[in-house]
């Protein structure tokens, strides 16, 4: 199996997001999913600035589609970001970035 290359995966996710924006209804939840996974890959490749931009786009689309901001996106994607991530470290960094965007620490309870 070839090694996981986060920068190539991030490029793939960004292509998927662009395709979804062009071919699916505006603010489709698929766009958000592609952007979140792309941000995880960008962080894994060390490009925090690009990851922040991609995550901000995901928050914007999610806000229009479902309401709420970064906090609600984090709740919706908590499974991918906390419980079952492929890249645990990158996913936790995305979780932290969402917390920064919302001004909350997202403390886990229970």
How many percent of the chain have pLDDT more than 70?
Answer: 83
Return the structure tokens found at 100: 């920064």
Q: Which of 69, 71, 91, 72 is nearest to 80 (CA)?
A: 91
d(CA 15, CA 34): 9
Exposed, middle or buried by CB within 10 Å (0-12, 13-18, 19+), for 90? buried
Q: Residue 110 — very low, low, confident or very high, per pLDDT cuts 50/70/90?
A: very low
Model confidence at 105, pLDDT cuts 50, 70, 90, reads: low
**What pLDDT score does 86 carry?**
60
Domain edges within the chain? 6-102
The per-residue pLDDT for 104 is: 59
Question: Exposed, middle or buried: residue 68 (CB in 10 Å: 0-12, 13-18, 19+)?
Answer: middle
Question: pLDDT for 50-88, tens place per residue?
Answer: 999 999 999 999 999 988 888 888 888 887 777 655 666
Structure tokens at 74: 């984090």
């Amino acid at each position: 199996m070839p090694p996981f290359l986060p920068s190539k995966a991030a490029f793939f996710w960004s292509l998927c997001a662009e395709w979804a924006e062009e071919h699916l209804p505006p603010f489709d939840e698929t766009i958000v999913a592609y952007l979140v996974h792309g941000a995880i890959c960008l962080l894994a490749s060390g490009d925090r600035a690009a990851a922040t931009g991609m995550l901000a786009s995901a928050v914007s689309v999610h806000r229009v589609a479902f309401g709420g901001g970064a906090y609600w996106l984090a709740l919706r994607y908590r499974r991918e970001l906390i419980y079952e991530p492929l890249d645990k470290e990158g996913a936790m960094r995305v979780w932290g970035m969402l917390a920064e965007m919302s001004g909350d620490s997202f403390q886990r309870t229970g």
